[in-house]
Amino acid sequence: APDEIDIEAWAIFRDVDVTVPTGTHVELTGGGLRGHLRNEAPALPQDQRQRVVRVHTLVCDVTGRVAKL
In tens, the pLDDT along 12-21 reads 778 999 999 9
Higher pLDDT, 10 or 53: 53
pLDDT in tens, 36-54: 899 999 999 999 999 999 9
Q: Is the pLDDT of residue 4 over 90?
A: yes
Task: Write down the pTM of the prediction.
Answer: 0.86
- pLDDT bucket at 22, cuts 50 / 70 / 90: very high
CA contacts within 13 A on the Cβ side of 68: 1
Contact 14, 63 (CB under 8 A): no
For 34, the 3-state DSSP assignment is coil
